[in-house]
Chains A and B, each alone.
Chain A
Amino acid sequence: MELWIDALIVLLILTNLKLIGSSRLSACIRIVALQGVLLGILPGLVNPDQMTLRAILLSAITIVFKGMVFPWLLLRSMRTSSVRREMEPFIGYSTSMLISVGLLALAMWMGGRLPLPIPLKSPLVVPLSLFTIMVGLLAIVSRKKALSQVLGYLVMENGIYAFGLALALKEPLLVELGTLLDVFMAVFVMGIAIFHINREFDHIDTDLLSALKG
């Protein structure tokens, strides 16, 4: 059982690395979708004894939203803005990969030092969530295309979800659903914003937006 949890967590770490090291936007969107599905499966493996109907429902909703709805929305806005690749990010792909390995070590170190209220099933869940949050932030600050930044935001949210999964077992259903709805609205609004940025400027590079201020 522990082997499977470890394998899943390593797979999640690899999805993060793939996201940060890949230039093709459709591949990035698919990898984030995969990450969402894996995150939906994770609670069933980590806490199999607490799989109530509520928890199963929550996992199912997570998988549907993060694995299907968001990727579909993002792929649609990718097609409408006719962007295929992230060209010339602020930090190159190999460099960001090396940086994220450094971040992984940092997350492992922090995860080991964090005093936790309850003992965890796997010691890797907290480092994984910290690492995912950091990778999301890195994607937001180092990429130019609005679409990649949305992906970074989604990955960050995934990290927070994983953290909640590790600690807040009795988190109210309403809170979880509310977060999911917030993220859904955010992706929806960002999709519309990307569409408008694209229509106005013929590209979705965000680094030039700062020139707009008066």
Chain B
Amino acid sequence: MKMIFILHPLGALLLSPLLLGIVNRTKAFFAGRKGLPLLQAYYDLARLFQKSAVYSRTTSWVFRAGPMVGLAAAMTALLVLPIGGGAACLNFTGDLIFLIYLLGVMRFFTVVAALDTGSAFEGMGASREVQFSILAEPALLLSLLAMGEIGESAIDSGIPLPHLSLSGIYAGLSFSAWMHSGTVLLLAASALFIVLLTENARIPVDDPNTHLELTMIHEVMVLDHSGPDFAMILYSSAIKLWIFGALLAGILVPVRSGDFLLDGAATLGGIFLLPIGIGVIESSMARLRLLRVPQLLSGAGVLAILAIVLVLKG
């Protein structure tokens, strides 16, 4: 194991709260405000970690375990996540399913912790989160599979990477793969982007700023967490944004020169451009009505299925 592979998870742990800052600054720019400092998420995390947590008497160990399991799952997911064409720390056959299940574990524990509070309000948020994830998860899996088909066929057989692993897939998604089957990759990337917006509670689906509104989904589930627990939730959501950003930047920035540092730097640039895109969308779009969200998500699923059909046909 080369030491250089450790750099990406460590970098992600250090830099991921910065992404939230970039989103906020972009939104502030569009609103004509000065905005929060770029490092605000770090200050928030430091402040929250110094506080002590308050627990309701109705909650059990599940409520306390929720944020910890969530953060642990998010950190573990970083280990299988390749950055650009460079291989991840861990790669094994089918680790894309492992990644999706880690995200699933994270969501499951957030939902269970929300239900554990016994609050009807949080139960509602949990119900919505689960409802949308039913639609978002297949779209994610299918778009990764479609990309996998292309990446695997384009990969240089000299590199010994396991079959259907994220590292193998992303190593093959080079510029020539775009020239060869750009439409499929574009379809998969758009499906992935819709899933990113959903999973990270971003605007067409959920509004991260509405702490006390009935329409919100993710924020309502974490209302009862306080102090270090809330810090862990904030941190794991930043890491989650990083994970999806890396998945998307890996397709959209097809620089595969073979030089680890150059590829990594290009993908890192993509990851940091993505929050600007999210900020632009949040400033220019209104949140969809709750009834329309499943339609958007099934649209993402349809895009992913279309990508798969085209791959199998072509």
Contact = CB atoms under 8 A, between A and B. Distances in A.
Are both chains from one complex?
yes
Interface in B297-314: 298-299, 302, 305-306, 309-310, 312-314
Categorize the interface residue count of chain B.
Answer: 10 to 19
Tell me if B's interface is mostly helix, strand, loop or mixed: helix
Interface string A77-117: 00000000000000001100110010011001000100000
B295 A6 contact: no
B298 A94 contact: yes
Interface string A1-22: 0010011001001100100010
B299 A108 contact: no
Nearest to A17: B302
A101 B305 contact: yes
A105 B302 contact: no
Tell me if A's interface is mostly helix, strand, loop or mixed: helix
Given A21-B295, A94-B295, A97-B302, A104 B183 contact: no
Contacts of A105: 309
A7 B298 CA distance: 22
Nearest to A10: B183
A127 interface: yes
Contacts of B179: 3
B298 A104 contact: no
Interface string B180-203: 111100010000000000000000
A128 to B, nearest CB: 11
Interface in A116-130: 123-124, 127
A17 B183 CA distance: 16
Given A3-B179, A94-B294, A10 B299 contact: no
B302 A127 contact: no
Categorize the interface residue count of chain A.
Answer: 20 to 34
A3 B183 contact: yes
A153 B302 CA distance: 24
Contacts of A17: 299, 302, 306
Contact of A10 (B180, B187, B298, B302): B187
B295 A101 contact: no
A21 B302 CA distance: 11
A96 B147 CA distance: 26
Contacts of B309: 104-105, 108
Contacts of A21: 295, 299
Nearest to A9: B183
Interface in B260-301: 294-295, 298-299
A127 B295 CA distance: 25
A98 to B, nearest CB: 7
B306 A97 contact: no
B302 A7 contact: no
Given A3-B182, A94-B298, A123 B306 contact: no
Given A10-B310, A93-B295, A101 B302 contact: yes
Interface string B205-249: 000000000000000000000000000000000000000000000
Interface string A123-163: 11001000000000000000000000000000000000000
A173 to B, nearest CB: 32
Contacts of A6: 181, 183, 310, 314
In this complex, the member of B179, B182, B312, B313 whose beta carbon has the largest number of chain A beta carbons within 10 angstroms is B313
Contacts of B299: 17, 21, 97
Nearest to A112: B313
Interface in A47-100: 93-94, 97-98
Contacts of A127: 313
A123 B305 contact: no
Interface of A: 3, 6-7, 10, 13-14, 17, 21, 93-94, 97-98, 101, 104-105, 108, 112, 123-124, 127
- The 8 A-B residue pairs with the shortest CB-CB distance, nearest first, are A10-B183, A94-B298, A6-B183, A7-B183, A101-B305, A108-B313, A101-B302, A97-B302
14 contacts: A6-B181, A10-B306, A14-B306, A17-B299, A94-B294, A94-B298, A97-B298, A101-B302, A105-B309, A108-B313, A112-B313, A123-B313, A124-B310, A124-B313
